[in-house]
Amino acid sequence: MVLFRGDVKCKSLQRRTSISVILPSDNIHFLQDAEEIVPQPYRTLYLLHGLYGSDDIFLANTSIQKFAEDHGIAIVIPCGENSFYVDNVASHAYYGEYVGSELLDITRNIFPLSDKREDTFIAGFSMGGYGAVRNGLKYSQNFSKIGMISSALITDDIVSYTSDDNVLRSREFYESIFGNLDELEGSDMDPKALIDDCDEIPDIFMACGYDDFLHNKNVDYYEFLKSRDVNVDFIEAPGEHTWEFCDTYIKEFIKTLVR
């Protein structure tokens, strides 16, 4: 296994930004005097962190590094700040364009990653789950599967928010990300509208804990997807909005990529 952490320069953000990359190469078992060769180019999962996170947070809080090695898949983790992975025109921070398109070009030019849609996947936890479905659908020509773990599907709720010192309940905070909240419904930041505008919908995997404060929002979206005949699997299980839940079910999603 190879772990790379570094910076890349991207047009979408007009700056340098950090990424972490896990490659399933050099899988050498010294004690057994054995070596497993994973064929190149690698199938690749673009994995998006949640609010307050960074590109190294999955490495610190999950066992995904070893799991990726064992399952022969590359994982690219970008730093998304608190952007919800959407495009902020005012600050020229096009995080949607970055994770949905430019990051694929950047990493494929550096690492031996497959450029085939059927080998390319996007997933995320919490805010990253929203970012995964938003950009997995908006850039559906690039991704064949979407993984949503405890997804922050909050666009229907934040339109009613008012001023609040807590950033999670602050209308000003969400306006700084999404713009005019009254125009959010039906836009390319609305996960339901994106389904209706998508010609080739990727397969979708969802997981959310019964005790997660986002559980009802995930159930609602799952039922919406079923009403649109989308190929979706939804796992509901005991658990809250925690890294333990994320660790378990992001690995369940990875298992679906290697069957």
For residue 235, what are the domain limits?
Answer: 2-257
User: Which pLDDT band holds residue 28 (cuts at 50, 70, 90)?
Assistant: low
List of residues 6+ apart from 164 with CB closer than 8 A: 170, 171
pLDDT at 29 over 80: no
CA dist 115 → 28, 130, 213 (Å): 26, 24, 37
Confidence of residue 165 (pLDDT cuts 50, 70, 90): confident
Helix axes 243-257, 64-71, angle to 10 degrees: 10
DSSP category for residue 201:
P
| Cα 53 to Cα 48: distance, rounded to the nearest angstrom | 9
Number of independent structural domains in the chain: 1
Residue 37 is predicted with a pLDDT of 78
Domain with 177 in it: what CATH number? 3.40.50.1820
Note the pLDDT tens digit of each residue in 95-148. 999 999 999 999 999 999 999 999 999 999 999 999 999 999 999 999 999 999
Residue 31: pLDDT band (50, 70, 90) is low
Asked if 137 and 187 count as a contact pair (C-beta separation under 8 A), the reply is: no
How confident is the model over 34-85, as pLDDT tens digits?
Answer: 566 788 999 999 999 999 999 999 999 999 998 988 899 999 999 999 999 9
